[in-house]
Amino acid sequence: MSERLVVIGSQWGDEGKGKITDYFACRADMVVRYQGGNNAGHSVMFNGHKYSLQSIPSGIFNPNTVNVMGNGMVVNPESVLVELQRLHDQGVTDYQLFISDRAAMVMPWHSALDGAYESLKGGKLIGTTKKGIGPAYCDKYSRSGLRMGDLLEPEYFAERLKAAVEEKNMELAMLGLPTFDFQQVYDRYMEIAAILGPRIVDTSDLINKALISDKKILFEGAQGMMLCIDHGTYPFVTSSTPSSASVPVGAGISPKWIDNVVGVAKAYCTRVGEGPFPTELFDEISHEIRERGHEYGTVTGRPRRVGWFDAVVARYTSRLAGIDNWALMLFDVLSGLDKVRICTHYELDGKIVDTPPSTISKLARCKPVYVELDGWKEDITGVKSFDELPDNAKAYVRKIEELTGVPVGVISVGPDRTQTILISEKLKNF
Ligand code: GDP
Ligand code: IMO
Ligand code: MG
């Protein structure tokens, strides 16, 4: 019986982590976000309603689930307020939410700097979400950042804020950007403290108490492994580690607790923003998949780039994150294609490679080697079990398992909570 479950993105983000987290959150006592911030856009759909979350955990729809924004996140309190208001407007009013006192805070200058750093790169944009995530993590690691818990001590907060405003105004002025007035920022953050203050607690203590009481805890990753600051397609990555490996640090628990990891993977691949993408498609099929899968970013509305399922990436991410099961998402989107392809290896400068190279210059030269399978025409959006799937769809799933060495534990055949086929016994027991 597993009481902990980590849900991570195993490609370039937007794999369907929100849907899978919400699906399991119905049985979880606690859902914890442990990295990233409001650069994430997690969609959840049930009872005919669609919800979009940026920094709030996807367990928020279950009133019995305690939702935690962990210390490894960068929290934009203004954005949290906007999200809470939006949830409220959609009728979500009964929830439990706590924010770590040690979480780094995204300040108003971070998004301005995010945009400015991008324009300094000239033609070589990363294509960030411009939410200030990179600059906020930079300040955390350069030890000049502010943390959510600082809001609870007004005098200490004032002292830290004064230093930060002074430092940032110099940088903003150099970049020709508007500067900030200490008093205005201070007054606004004290208003925020009055609203969010009761939710700001020592979340590591909260989570550990739940762990030792055998509560069911789900850790919800944001972004995807190929956007990892260490293992992703650097520098076209985000500024955190979306892996299961960052759960212990980002939630404040021992690594010994992690024993059940679901790698969320689309049945194909998408990427939003710049950077190499070996299986990217530029033909009619990519257009078809983009329209059928509504492949447009939830945060920025940008069209997502589309490509075939990449087993090289899947093997790599499963090795890095210890993935026990795949949650294979948007499987319905592939229905109707004559042929479907899976990338088995790359060819790099005349040699076959089976793991991604470290530099994007080499990755950009990697040519995908494919296995081609027959497609299926049937609509599978109402399918409730693996056995009911068309034979060719089953063969596609089996090929992914064979090429990655990891079983497919969940298959998603539509955005709704109910359009989920649960196969894995380990996951049934969560
Ligand atoms: P996340 O960032 O990993 O949570 O993923 P996003 O929510 O950004 O993007 C996934 C998109 O696919 C959302 O619009 C979901 O509603 C949708 N979705 C999730 N699972 C399925 C599925 O099985 N089929 C279809 N057609 N759409 C899905
Ligand atoms: P979810 O959790 C997809 C991408 C951006 C950009 C790069 C860096 O919804 O899967 P950042 O703003 O983080 O500095 O941008 O990372 N990116 C995502 N792409 N899904 C996400 O989150 C992403 N979060 C960041 O598009 O290429
Ligand atoms: Mg998303």
- Dihedral sign, Cα of residue 86, residue 46, residue 5, residue 41: negative
In 90-172 the beta strands, taken as DSSP E runs, fall at 96-100, 104-105
Tell me how far apart the alpha carbons of residues 372 and 396 are, in angstroms, rounded to a whole number. Answer: 10
Tell me how far apart the alpha carbons of residues 42 and 52 are, in angstroms, rounded to a whole number. Answer: 6
DSSP 375: -
Decide if 89 is catalytic: no
Closest CA to 15 of 33, 40, 39: 40
Give distance in angstroms: CA of 76 to centre of ligand 3: 17
Tell me how far apart the alpha carbons of residues 57 and 246 are, in angstroms, rounded to a whole number. Answer: 16
Tell me how far apart the alpha carbons of residues 405 and 411 are, in angstroms, rounded to a whole number. Answer: 17
What confidence score (pLDDT) does residue 272 get?
92
Q: Which of 11, 14, 47, 420 to mutate to test the pocket of ligand 1 (most atoms within 8 A of CB)?
A: 14
Give distance in angstroms: CA of 291 to centre of ligand 2: 20
Give distance in angstroms: CA of 46 to centre of ligand 1: 12
Tell me how far apart the alpha carbons of residues 182 and 203 are, in angstroms, rounded to a whole number. Answer: 29
Q: Which helix (H) or strand (E) holds 392?
A: helix 391-404
Amino acid at 184: Q
What confidence score (pLDDT) does residue 410 get?
98
**Residue 325 in 3-state DSSP?**
strand
Bond preceding residue 235 cis, omega within 30 of 0: yes
From 14, 114, 150, 324, active-site residue: 14
The closest residue, in CA terms, to atom 2 on ligand 1 is 14
Give per-residue burial for 194-218: e unless 16+ CB within 10 Å, then b. eebeebbbebbebbbebbeeeebbb
Bridge partners (DSSP) listed for residue 280:
307
Decide if 14 is catalytic: yes
Q: What is the DSSP string of 27-72?
A: T-SEEEE-SB-TT--EEEEETTEEEEESSS-TTTTSTTSEEEE-TT
What confidence score (pLDDT) does residue 301 get?
83
CB atoms within 10 A of CB 115: 15
Please identify every stretch of the chain with a pLDDT value under 70, giving residue numbers as ranges: 1-2
**Residue 364 in 3-state DSSP?**
helix
What confidence score (pLDDT) does residue 1 get?
56
Tell me how far apart the alpha carbons of residues 85 and 33 are, in angstroms, rounded to a whole number. Answer: 20
Contact residues of ligand 2, CB 6 A cut-off: 9, 13-14, 39-42, 126-129, 131, 133-134, 222-224, 227, 238-239, 272-273
What confidence score (pLDDT) does residue 2 get?
63
The closest residue, in CA terms, to atom 15 on ligand 2 is 128
Tell me how far apart the alpha carbons of residues 384 and 423 are, in angstroms, rounded to a whole number. Answer: 10
